[in-house]
Amino acid sequence: MNLSTEIPQSATQPGLAERAIDAATDVSQTIGEVAGGLHSAVDRLTSALEESRKPGGALATVAAITREAPLASLFIAFLFGVAVTRRRR
> How many domains, the chain?
1
Residues 38-51: pLDDT tens digits?
999 999 999 999 99
Is the CB of residue 89 less than 8 Å from the CB of residue 82? Answer: no
The pLDDT of residue 3: 54
The answer to whether residue 4 sits within a structural domain is no
The answer to whether residue 50 sits within a structural domain is yes
The answer to whether residue 2 sits within a structural domain is no
Handedness of CA 21, 26, 29, 34 (dihedral sign): negative
DSSP 9: H
Q: Please state, in angstroms and rounded to a whole number, the distance separating the CA atoms of residues 63 and 44.
A: 21
The answer to whether residue 73 sits within a structural domain is yes
Handedness of CA 58, 64, 67, 72 (dihedral sign): negative
Residues 8-29: pLDDT tens digits?
555 566 788 888 888 989 999 9
Q: Domain range spanning residue 59? A: 15-88
